[in-house]
Homo-oligomer: A and B are copies of this chain.
Amino acid sequence: MYTTSTQIRIHYALTDQMGVVYHGHYAQFYEIGRAEAIRELGYSYKDIEAMGIIMPVVDIHSRFLRPAKYDDLITVKTTLRELPVHHKIVFHSEIYSEDGALLNTGDVTLYFMEAKHMKRCEMPAALKDKLVAYFKETEE
């Protein structure tokens, strides 16, 4: 298992007239969490694109438990429960309030694809090598 955490301050643009964060903006929080999870492996998503690989989102499932509000400092906890299989990778996100309440969960499935031919491919080996270390004890 591989888990990282990152914090996001809610600014006004993210609120709606219900006085809470608009539900459609949580996908951005998952994205920010994923980007930081990848960065902590020593690569950025920008590096992955520079290798000619893009990672389109193919499925998102969000559950909204409690609202995030303006000026809240939320924590996005991003987890890979398993190594990517073939072209597919699933990130689990949990979003917490400053006092530790679970606000939202999101499961996001992405594909690895060669940008040039738009063909599915494997996770870049350099990245997978970094990741594999986190799964050794339980899986090998």
| Oligomer copy total | 4
Name the residue among A11, A19, A45, A46 with the largest chain B CB count within 10 angstroms: A11
Asked if A24 meets B23 with Cβ closer than 8 Å, knowing A15-B17, A60-B62, the reply is no
Please tell me if the beta carbons of A31 and B24 are within 8 angstroms of each other in the complex.
yes
Q: Which secondary structure dominates chain A's binding surface?
A: mixed
A97 within 8 A of B: no
Interface residue ranges of A48-104 to B (CB < 8 Å): 54, 56-64, 67, 70-71
Mask of A25-37 contacts with B, CB within 8 angstroms, 1/0: 1011001100100
Please tell me if the beta carbons of A28 and B17 are within 8 angstroms of each other in the complex.
no
Closest Cβ–Cβ distance, residue A6 to chain B (whole Å): 10
A129 within 8 A of B: no
Asked if A16 meets B15 with Cβ closer than 8 Å, knowing A60-B60, A62-B60, A71-B45, the reply is yes
Residue of B nearest to A30 (CB): B24
Pairs across A and B, CB under 8 Å, 19 listed: A9-B32, A9-B35, A12-B22, A13-B22, A13-B31, A15-B17, A16-B16, A16-B17, A17-B17, A17-B19, A17-B70, A18-B54, A20-B56, A24-B25, A35-B71, A56-B67, A57-B64, A59-B64, A61-B61
